[in-house]
Amino acid sequence: MSHSFSRDRTMELRQSFEGGNESTNRENHSPNNNSTLRSPTFYLTPNDDDFTNTTISRSPPTSRYYSGADLTTTNSYSNNYNTNNANNATINITSNNSSTSLSSSITPNYLTNNAHNYNKYNRKPRQTRPEEVIEMNEISVKNGHANIDTLEEFFEEVESIKDSITMVNENINIVERLHTAALISSNEQQWTQLSSQLENMKRDTQSRNLDIKARLTELENANGKQAQISDGQIRKTQFSALKKRFMDTIQRYQDIERAYQQKYRQRIERQIRIVKPDATQDEIETILDNADDDAQIFSQSLMQATRRGHAKAVLSEVQNRHDDIKNIEKTIVELHQLFMDMSLLVERQQETVNVVEQNAETAAVQLEEGTNLYGGLDLITRQDDGIDIPNDEGVNNFDDSPYFDYHHLKAIENHDSKYLGQSLSISPAAHHLSDLHIDDLGLPTLPKVPEKSSIIKEPVTHTADPNAKFEAKDDAITAELCELYGNLQKCLDLREKYITLSGQRLTDDPRNHDDWEIYPAAPPKSWPLPSPEELERRKAKEMAREADPVAAVGSDFDFDQCKIPGPHVYSYGIGPNGFYQVYRNELDQTAEAPLYQFPSPREFYDDMDFILSVISDGPAKSFAFRRLRYLDSKWQMYILLNEFQELADSKRTPHRDFYNVRKVDTHVHHSSSMNQKHLLRFIKSKMKKSPDDVVIYRDNHHLTLRGVFESLGLTAYDLSIDTLDMHAHKDSFHRFDKFNLKYNPIGESRLREIFMKTDNYIQGRYLAEITKEVVSDLESSKYQMVEYRVSIYGRSIDEWDKLAKWVVNNKLFSSNVRWLIQIPRLYNIYKNSAAVNSFQDIITNVFEPLFEVTKDPTSHPELHVFLQRVIGFDTVDDESKPEKPIFKDFPLPKDWTSNVNPPYSYYLYYMYANTAALNKWRQTRGFNTLVLRPHCGEAGDTDHLTAAFLTSYGISHGILLRKVPALQYLYYLAQVGIAMSPLSNNALFLTYERNPLPQFFQRGLNISLSTDDPLQFHFTKEPLIEEYSVAAQIWKLSSTDMCELARNSVIQSGWENQIKAHWIGKDWHKPGVQGNDMQKTNVPDIRVGFRYETLNEELEALRRYAPKEGKFNHEDPISKQDYVGVAGLAESSSIQQHLISKSTTDNSHIGSFPGAGIVAERAKLRSNH
């Protein structure tokens, strides 16, 4: 039987649903009307903007079909929710079959929020327009079931069921709100009204649930009768989704009912305990289960006059609500049964699902066989198919070609390119699509999919050959990306050129050769055991050291035992560019024909400008940022997979942990190498034991130590840590001027001159004594080393001799100590004080003695011995000072006579050029060479880091790299050593939590921890351990992390190869795992291997797309290809095409890049059409 509804009939139904008179409702829904029309959802008609007067009916203006349970006269009623005012909302539910009207006062926001959810778009007060009348499609019924033979009718039924499920969800929302209102109701009348409304709503919801279940069963039966496979698959998919949605709704209804039951019982239990606080749990459970028979507890309470009224009220409430709990339990049972029925329905579909999966696997196998059979994608159009071979114009028109159009390219870009860019294995044995070429597999060549740009540039000519194929240039790596790779590689080549020419490579330093000798020699190894005589000698020496640790420092040094070589035939002089040059003889010097050639100032600044242009380029910054983020993610993945393996490896290593692996303080200033307490004790000791020592000459008077303190009005008793005031507190942050004043004890420069200078009236005796005390502590710890930085100012030419004699005469020689020379950038101060006339004077004062002692060590024997333990140069000062940039003119040092301080890069270039010439000569003579390790990147401009990248072996601080991603990436690729001091940065320029050290470390930069100035920043007698401990606590470093930092510090340090081999392994200079000795470093091989493979992958991309030219070539093997960072620089579709053109039909390789198969299938489908 078929029912159809006219437009007038629809209007009448609309009026009844919107709350018309009861006669109309009864007429349209009489018992004799057995229409199976679906009951409508709620429809909100606001009467004003603030929802204070609102009507909710069950006809949705936005839904095309009615939804819900079958609407018959036995189950049909219209619910009209009227919100009377903002403070008191009344729910009116009119039942058509009982004509019972119920009302209740509920908190207004329940209904206001609910109304807003039903129709959030219809907020303006208006009358319903005729065109908004809901269309009623004719519902055909055959044999009691809906007509769903066609796919269109099937989808209409699916949408109708979806609307019904939506209606059930809305009913559940109302039930939940009524539950809340019932729980907070305060009187019996109100509770009765709410209970009635809940019962009506639950009956309606249950009816709808049963109807949905029946209709789903009809759909299942109808699906089983479909003969068309494609339609059947669509129907099964839609049915499964619909069924899951309905089961989720049932489950939600069950959860809400259970929660209400629990809260309901809790409320009654509270009421019982109010009446009788001493009621047992068994009594309460009995009352809740059978409220009519067991009311003795209330009868006893009624005997008490003071509580009679309240007990009667509670008894009435418990008895009235007992049935409600039973009804809730009944509802839960019904919902559970419905849920079980739907689960059974799911199980019956499992066999069909298995068949679908089997068919899908068969189709995949057949597709692979077809691809192998035809040798790839058949993209050639044929004349007999009625499609002409495209000419030039047709090729440029993507709509007429078999290739991807704009929409296809965008889809590929959005879904596939990012995966292709970031899904590479870290294993060297892993193969990727682009690593295998089709020619190597003996298979037919796959045609490449041309890019639009390449097609336009190289149009295809007409040809009558039916087998002709499109030829296109492989532009998967765009010109922009190739240029970027080339620029980055050029930056690395420039650094390699400068480092090689200056002799700063590891193999350039003769001290790293096996035949290197130094006096006194390094302490002998403890294992294997020496001869008994040697063992006794060592024990005696150790006992003497323990008896007087300070006197033991340098006790084995005898200057007379030092070997001083003779003069050399080479000569030297200042060249035309303002730095020293080495000549084979005096004739070559007269002819200005130096033995070695180095970059001129103009060449240096051109190279630096090139690097600055690269690191400031937008695509380069984006590329580097993505690569660094990739390194972060790769580290996180490595730690997740290998953290416990590292811990297990460390536990298996005997006699090694963080405390007994060698660690080097790679950046510490000698004059502040002690802590405040140590300096205070030393000053008080001298005041007590040597008060009459003449320590200073000022104002034409000699002053004793006692006289100095009397002039200051202080005694030894008055001194304290706070009195010294040498610790960098909050007042030093971004105030480098105040920080420099902290070097003056009690703020007096005369005390700094007495206790913290090497060149003073007492020839640095006090500083030598306190240095020995600090060094003795280091020797006692055995595993801590330092590289002290002492100053050469360049004010006079005899500074080197004074410093060398101070070291030699005080026997400051220890296997735990090496030295760096720091040159303060204070030309402007010296110029203003008339100490120098030009910048050339500073160069002469700093480097002239070094060339003299290299030519003839006998001219400065103490300096020759001291230089054997000198590692290199540093330049120090406040980097945040503004500088005058150099753009066009490059004045020579002799011409720099103004009072303006030269910029950082100018200082660094001339230090580099003079050091390069000096190193070449010293290398020829077999003397140790020197490296540049300046303070850099703590503050100031980007060109500081750029100049250091070109010229320096390593740097100190480098925290500004966090702001220059491209330069940071270059520092990573070149593995430039960075000695970072987070506690120092925390006091001066960057708070500890913002320090980039943990991020640099995770990414794989060559990082070590250092103390900088223990006197200003540390509190303990082991400042390096304090630095490690704070970092480990704040950044949660593991033992492996700290051991890796310690290993990095040894590698960055300037100790000779023989000592490093004893500390971290004989093959420490080899890359990767073969250079790691876990028995000495306690760094697991898996960590070292991860670092090496990751770095090698990054370098390989540069080698692959920007091959190096010239004599400066790496020899590291290429292992894998990486596309990370390519997104945004190359069209993702081009990368896809590049990968497809080099891929095989092997499922394992295609699985590595899921997007490739999708691209191929889309191309094949378009070609078939």
What residues act catalytically? 957
Residue position matching structure tokens 């009951």: 39
567 close to 858: Cβ distance less than 8 angstroms: yes
Length reported for the chain: 1169
Please choose, from the candidates 1016, 1015, 961, 1007, the residue with its C-alpha nearest in 3D space to the C-alpha of residue 988: 1016
18 close to 43: Cβ distance less than 8 angstroms: yes
Structure tokens at 874: 């540093």
- What single-letter DSSP state applies at residue 595? S
Q: Is the peptide bond preceding residue 528 cis, with omega within 30 degrees of 0?
A: yes
> Per-residue b/e over 490-503, b at no fewer than 16 CB within 10 Å?
bbbbbbbbbbebbb
Q: How far apart are CA 1044 and CA 613, in angstroms?
A: 34
Which residues fall within 8 angstroms of residue 971, CB to CB, at 6 or more apart?
945, 949, 958, 961, 978, 1005
Structure tokens at 543: 């006992």
Helices (H) and strands (E) in the chain, counts: 44, 22
List of long-range contacts for 153-158, beta carbons under 8 Å, 24+ apart: 154/219, 154/222, 154/235, 154/238, 155/238, 156/65, 157/215, 157/219, 158/219, 158/238, 158/239, 158/242
Which residues fall within 8 angstroms of residue 950, CB to CB, at 6 or more apart?
494, 495, 498, 604, 607, 608, 611
Which residues fall within 8 angstroms of residue 12, CB to CB, at 6 or more apart?
24, 28
Q: How far apart are CA 1025 and CA 1044, in angstroms?
A: 14
Structure tokens at 330: 């009944």
Q: How far apart are CA 909 and CA 839, in angstroms?
A: 13
Three-class HEC string of 929-964: CCEECCEECCCCCHHHHHHHHHHCCEEEECHHHHHC
Which residues fall within 8 angstroms of residue 67, CB to CB, at 6 or more apart?
38, 39, 40, 41, 160, 161, 162, 163, 164, 165, 166, 167
Structure tokens at 495: 């650094």
Which residues fall within 8 angstroms of residue 193, CB to CB, at 6 or more apart?
102, 103, 104
Q: What is the DSSP string of 66-132?
A: --SSB--TTT--EEEEE---SS-EEEEEE-TTT--EE--EE-HHHHHHHHHHH-SS--S--PPPGGG
Give the number of other Cβ atoms within 10 Å of residue 1's Cβ: 9
Give the orientation angle of helix 151-183 with respect to helix 188-224, to 10 degrees.
Answer: 160
Which value, to the nearest 10 degrees, does the dihedral of the CA atoms of residues 559, 565, 566, 572 take?
Answer: -110
Q: In what order do the strands lie in the sheet with 817-824?
A: 663-669, 784-791, 817-824, 870-876, 931-932
The residues with which 955 forms a beta bridge, in sequence order, are 978
Structure tokens at 459: 């149009």
Alpha helices (H) along 276-375: 281-289, 296-302, 308-348, 350-374
Alpha helices (H) along 225-307: 229-275, 281-289, 296-302
Query: DSSP E strands: which ranges in 383-457?
Result: none
